[in-house]
Copies of this chain bind each other. A is one copy, B any other.
Amino acid sequence: MAKNLTTREQDYSKWYNELVIQADLAENSGVRGCMVIKPYGYGIWEKMQAELDRMFKETGHENAYFPLFIPKSYFSKEASHVDGFAKECAVVTHYRLKNDENGKGVIVDPDAKLEEELIVRPTSETIIWDTYRKWIQSYRDLPLLINQWANVVRWEMRTRLFLRTSEFLWQEGHTAHATKNEAIAEAEQMIHVYSDFVENYMAVPVIIGVKTESERFAGAIETYCIEALMQDGKALQAGTSHFLGQNFAKAFDVKFANKEGKQDYVWATSWGVSTRLMGALVMTHSDDNGLVLPPKLAPIQVVIIPIYRGDEEFDKVSEVALELQKELRAKGLRVKFDNRDTQKPGWKFHQYELKGVPVRIAVGPKDIANGTFEVARRDTLKKEVMLKNEVVDKVSGLMDEIQKNLFSRALDNRTEHTTEVSNYDEFKQVLDTKGGFISAHWDGTLETEEKIKNETKATIRCIPSDVEKEEGTCMVTGKPSRERVLFAKAY
């Protein structure tokens, strides 16, 4: 167990907060609800960005950049969107400060009031569709496949690092299509891109599904989502992709001439993932000793720690360590040789365990004498002595092995914490004792969904896709149900 780190058993929520700070991922700033993403945390986010960006480009998307500010009136143009997004937001009302005449520092200049207030973007559909009107005239301009990497602000009263912050970083894709089917296919394609990324890079298994009407994105016809299960049995929405129909095209008057020369409104999608994924990554794999990172996203995949007394031993050990570092790097691994003399080996072991480095190699005089290395895996905490001539291949192989082990461990946890129930009493009992995903029949009404939410705090996470539909009767009302849906308490 890590020193000073609350265990998951003691208090999962406290464990998470402490871990994010102790592992140098992020911290709260002097600005309410806004976080500072520290270099180690940002290094992981950069790896996520790089993979996602590559996947977006491989599916034909290009990046662009749209304004941070959105005029207030833009939000009013799409009726359901304004209710969902224009409420808790940062509002810019003035464009100048001035020196206070009473010498009390700077004050807002009342003469510099904006004619129309600007909203710091909570999401960019409105400003982007206002722009697309100028870009789209004909079917030749379609599809328009654009992504933006940006910061967004949604004012939050209760914040938690990565999971819920007033400002966060994300990407938002916004595409325009000539036909309904093409737009639906795009929205579905992108939820699968997300699922591919989250499962194969983050090693976090997800359920793909669609949201119920009440949980849909404000302005969407259909919201596709991926849902992950954390170690405490709570669900986390890891990404969403929306089929927006012609709602935004109509609100912003974006029409195109089709091949027959007829004018029609454009079909839209939008899709996004955010720094919230960092929270999912931490909560899925980490343990009471600290972070556990999947090798594909770890800024440092292998750390080499020298064990020595005195300068002479240090020189010998360093020579061997540097040679090993070189060979591992030649295999494409991200390796750090921590040769600082200001810290002891024990402190370093603890530190890299806390930071989730997948493999640690210790090199001391005994190892040199024996022609061996001591190799420790972060995921299993197991140590193995490896021969000098096999260590490079074995450690290389470990990357793949650890990546797979993390995924299968998380999948086992999810399987264990997914329960089919047949009545409401059983539902409540499972929710209170075991938690996790609960698969149940529901009559499809908002009323029943609300009732369950109010009575149990569980929400419908999604109506799973890619599963066989099973008819039944609603666990609450007894009315007919077309299929099972997935409930859980959620982050």
Question: Is the pair A42, B65 in contact by a Cβ cutoff of 8 Å?
Answer: yes
Q: Taking the complex as formed, is A82 at the interface, i.e. its CB lies under 8 A from any CB of chain B?
A: yes
Which residue of A27, A68, A119 has the most chain B CB atoms within 10 A of its CB atom?
A: A68
Query: A105's contact among B68, B73, B97, by CB below 8 Å, is which?
Result: B73
Please state the number of chain copies in the assembly: 2
Question: Is the pair B98, A87 in contact by a Cβ cutoff of 8 Å?
Answer: yes
A39-B62 CB under 8 A given contacts A29-B131, A72-B106: yes
Interface string of A69-100 (1 = CB under 8 A from B): 11111111000001000111111111111100
Which residues from B are CB-within-8-Å of A69? 31, 34, 90, 167
Query: A167's contact among B67, B72, B98, B342, by CB below 8 Å, is which?
Result: B67
Counting chain A residues whose Cβ lies within 8 A of the other chain, the interface size class is 35 or more
Question: Within A105-131, which residues are at the interface with B (CB < 8 Å)?
Answer: 105-106, 108, 117-120, 127, 130-131
A474 vs B68: C-alpha distance when bound (angstroms)? 47
Tell me how far the C-beta of A123 lies from the nearest C-beta in chain B, rounded to whole angstroms.
15
A67 vs B134: C-alpha distance when bound (angstroms)? 33
Which residue of A43, A69, A71, A127 has the most chain B CB atoms within 10 A of its CB atom?
A: A69
Question: Is the pair A31, B131 in contact by a Cβ cutoff of 8 Å?
Answer: no
Q: Taking the complex as formed, is A333 at the interface, i.e. its CB lies under 8 A from any CB of chain B?
A: no
Which residue of A75, A86, A150 has the most chain B CB atoms within 10 A of its CB atom?
A: A86
Question: Within A26-41, which residues are at the interface with B (CB < 8 Å)?
Answer: 27, 29-31, 34-39
A417 vs B86: C-alpha distance when bound (angstroms)? 53
Q: Taking the complex as formed, is A324 at the interface, i.e. its CB lies under 8 A from any CB of chain B?
A: no
List 9 A-B residue pairs with CB atoms under 8 Å apart, sorted by A's residue number. A67-B167, A68-B167, A69-B167, A72-B105, A82-B105, A87-B98, A91-B93, A92-B93, A151-B151
